[in-house]
Amino acid sequence: MSELRKYEINTSQYELYKQMHEKQTLDYVMKKRLQYSKLNNTKMSIKEVLSRMDNFIDPSDPDLDVPNSIHAYQTAERIRKKYPQDKEYQIIGLIHDLGKILFEFGEENWSVVGDTYVAGCEYPKSIVYYDTLKGSPDFDKYTKIGIYEIGCGLDKLNITFGHDEYLFQVLKGNDNHNISQKYLDIIRYHSFYPWHTGGDYYQFMNEKDKTTLKNINEFNSFDLYSKEDPIEITEEVKAYYDKLLDEYFKGDLSW
């Protein structure tokens, strides 16, 4: 397990993060959130989006070189093994990365995947490839609190744009599903590593965020280490989740 998430210089991951760190300014993040909050790209079922993950391999991940659909089923199966009765949790394991459908809308990889962090305040050194942030126009522009207030809550922060925030927006903006707020928050912050793993940004947390932090740390034990599992996704497994998706989603979603 200790071999996961090792980021090295002169790799494709380094180049992706370098571009992200130089371009995901506060202004960029706010514009992207506004653009995609309109949910006017297309209408698709959740199953269709899941199937399109067959075509996407996360270029930011040093531990994953298989289509994202495989990772989705593996994460869900790890959750099902521990929580066989918690169908909603299993669904979250399956769909948590579906915001990566952004790759079909012309977004650059650095605006789709990778660890997220906050724009509009000082960059903590727990951010992966921290030194490349020195190429950002926003580097050294803000204090530790920046444009925010202590205890304001994570939902008030402008976190760098990518698949987490996008899928959260999609699910909040559609009412034909049964996903509860607890799991929406796991989706929204699961790539926010400087917070949930690095121990930064605690100055912004409210009481709700303390619960979310516990939930995400448990979820990441399924998400991260699913990458070490043998790739055995049978038709029976797919049929189980196909039925589960029908229980929780009705019709097409606006994306």
Per-residue pLDDT tens over the stretch 5-48: 566 777 889 999 999 999 999 999 999 999 999 999 999 999 99
Domains of the chain: which residue ranges? 18-248
Q: What are the helix (H) ranges across the chain?
A: 12-23, 26-37, 46-52, 68-82, 87-95, 163-173, 181-189, 193-196, 207-223, 235-248
Q: With the C-alpha atoms ordered 74, 75, 78, 81, is the resulting torsion angle positive or negative?
A: negative
Q: With the C-alpha atoms ordered 173, 179, 182, 187, is the resulting torsion angle positive or negative?
A: negative
Rounded CA-CA distance 169/35 in Å is 11
Per-residue pLDDT tens over the stretch 113-169: 999 999 999 999 999 999 999 999 999 999 999 999 999 999 999 999 999 999 999
What is the C-alpha radius of gyration for the chain, rounded to an integer number of angstroms?
18
Per-residue pLDDT tens over the stretch 45-95: 999 999 998 887 776 765 556 677 888 999 999 999 999 999 999 999 999
